[in-house]
Chain A
Amino acid sequence: MSRVASIALHTFKESVRERVLYNLIAFALLLIGAAILFGSISVGVEEIILVNLGLSSISVFGLLMAIFIGIGLVSKEIERRTIFSILSKPVHRAEFIVGKYLGLLLTLVINTAIMTAGFYVALLYQKRTLRLADLLVLEAVYFILLQFALVVGLALLFSCISTPVLSAVFTLCLYIIGNLLGDIRWFGQETGNALVENGTAVLYYLLPNFGNFNAISQVSHGEGIPGYLLISNSLYALLYVAILLSASIMIFEEKEFR
């Protein structure tokens, strides 16, 4: 097994033994279950409510897991000095960072799979049957996972340079801003001021655009995601994650462990 895979697997084991993870999964499943209730009092739009609430729960709780576990990925190792015994082995610092990243991503993929399974159980309970069209939900889930990939990258980067609390604040702020980037750019264009317009355009291209990955509403109305969007968003996330990991590695390579 390669060193990256070992570190990833170890990070996965470490994450799944966190109690907070199970609490979050339980809450998510509870909320998905509650969506059935909300659906039953919304005549005619039961399925839309269930898909909206279910996918939002998966997104929000997965996000919380990504942030709260992600911010401790590196800082906890430094704080507890476990890093000493790992970096004194034939492990490149880049391997450590990539392994940590992949480990948490694996945790999130499996948790998202569990929450999605819960969602389908709720859907089956409500509709009594599942159709092939219901698989459209998986496209939105895939986009949610791409968001998680970006969030973990951000949390990891901040974890290399800051304290866990500040890392959580920075990551959450960037996630919120990243969801509003379209509006921010529109606002810049509306002002008519060249400086503001250029500034918001720079932000639009520089910061991670989480709004691109929001397909919950579309899917809840039974609309699929065009293939080109699936590909372009995948490439965007891949490129952005590569940049975030490269930055984390560059910072981590220079870091001293006193």
Chain B
Amino acid sequence: MLAVETCDLTKDYSIGFFRKRPKRALDGLSLRVEPGEVFGLLGPNGAGKSTTLKILLRLIFPTSGTARILGRELNDVSMHARIGYLPENPYFYDHLTAREFLNYVGELFGLGATERRQRVDRLLDRLGLASSRDVALRKFSKGMVQRVGLAQALINDPELIFLDEPMSGLDPLGRREVRDLILDLKRQGKTVFFSTHILSDAEMLCDRVAILNRGRLQGCGDLREILRLGVAATEIVLENPPPEALKELSPFNRSVVWTGERARLEIADEADVPKALSTALRLGVRIVSLNPVKMSLEDYFMARIEEFSHTPLDQDLKAVAQEKEVKR
């Protein structure tokens, strides 16, 4: 059984006041998230990440397509007892304290009084809110509210946790704690599905990622595979190479950067690496190091986004409008 499965999920919004026009926020998204993995949904602002999560949580409804969570249909509300959700930029009841709010959420999950008390105390301790448990939420900083949001998402000990921009509003220490928390959840065998536009977080945490841009899936796969396959270049560092050696190596290298007496050559084509090395050895140049320059998640992300940016958004909208017209 998959943790999350979406099939051709599409969401159109109507924009405009008098003359309504469709705006496609999500376009035929098909995803499969395995149990126990940390899955990152990446994309720039407005890519459709929150829309996807809101559809999965049944806060908005898809225009077309289907989705299942833990093998259940989205309209099966009882399934929510097995999941947790942290909304983007969460806001909770001003008049409640952290403990009262978590207690209320525990009641909604049908937890008994003793179990509720234990879980609330444990989570407040775990998230560094123990000393603020009886402080009204209106007095909390943004980072503290985010932690309360995480606590309410975990109060039911869920199998699957949806986190919408979980690092948003957190200071470096808070981000580190959330990263540790996500890794801890993974160790416990939980599935974590989170959206972010902070790629370094995704690179550190995710088993698999999906890249969304303007509502479309631009790529999806195992993060290790993406990073392993994506060798962008090979870097050769030479000790004080003479100008004639650099001239002879110039057909192979893409760029030369000097750092003190060392020259860093970037060989774009992997096939040219042996040729460049033998040339350097033949000319008696000392080779300091040889390293593959791997593609970072950021490089992969940017490549995917740029690839897609050749399709103007206006064309997409016109296509959607035409599609609707034909249906009428």
Contact = CB atoms under 8 A, between A and B. Distances in A.
Interface of A: 1, 3, 6-7, 10, 13-14, 17, 80-92, 256-258
Given A17-B95, A258-B54, A89 B80 contact: yes
Contact of A6 (B87, B95, B107): B107
A206 B58 CA distance: 34
A241 to B, nearest CB: 24
Contacts of B100: 13
A80 B91 CA distance: 7
Given A90-B109, A257-B59, A13 B91 contact: no
B229 interface: no
B149 interface: yes
Contact of A257 (B54, B92, B104): B54
A81 B78 CA distance: 22
A258 B108 contact: no
Nearest to B136: A17
A14 B95 contact: yes
Nearest to B84: A88
Contact of A1 (B105, B107, B152): B107
B4 to A, nearest CB: 14
Given A14-B93, A80-B91, A81-B87, A88 B80 contact: yes
A3 B111 CA distance: 11
B320 interface: no
A83 B110 CA distance: 18
Nearest to B106: A6
Given A3-B110, A90-B80, A84 B60 contact: no
12 contacts: A3-B107, A10-B93, A14-B93, A82-B91, A84-B57, A85-B105, A86-B108, A89-B108, A89-B109, A90-B110, A257-B59, A258-B60
Interface of B: 13, 54, 57-61, 77-81, 83, 85, 87, 89-93, 95-96, 100, 104-105, 107-110, 149, 152, 156, 162
A86 B59 CA distance: 10
A81 B50 CA distance: 14
A84 B95 contact: no
Contact of B90 (A3, A84, A89): A84
Nearest to A83: B59
Nearest to B95: A17
A160 B324 CA distance: 29
B110 A87 contact: no
A138 B89 CA distance: 48
A257 B60 CA distance: 6
A14 B94 CA distance: 9
Contacts of A256: 59-61
A86 B104 CA distance: 10
Most interface-central of B81, B85, B90, B108 (chain A CB within 10 A): B108
Contacts of A3: 107-108, 110
Contacts of A257: 54, 59-60
- Give the top 4 A-B pairs by smallest Cβ distance, nearest first: A88-B85, A6-B107, A84-B87, A90-B80
Given A82-B92, A82-B93, A257-B54, A88 B59 contact: yes
A214 B13 CA distance: 47
A85 B105 CA distance: 9
Nearest to A81: B91
Contact of A84 (B59, B83, B109): B59
A87 B85 CA distance: 10
Contacts of A89: 80-81, 105, 108-109, 156
Contacts of B83: 88
Contact of B108 (A13, A82, A83, A91): A91
A84 B105 CA distance: 12
A10 B94 CA distance: 12
B77 to A, nearest CB: 6
B19 to A, nearest CB: 20
A120 to B, nearest CB: 31
A91 B87 contact: no
A92 to B, nearest CB: 6
Contacts of B149: 85
A21 to B, nearest CB: 12
B60 A6 contact: no
B298 to A, nearest CB: 29
A92 B110 contact: no
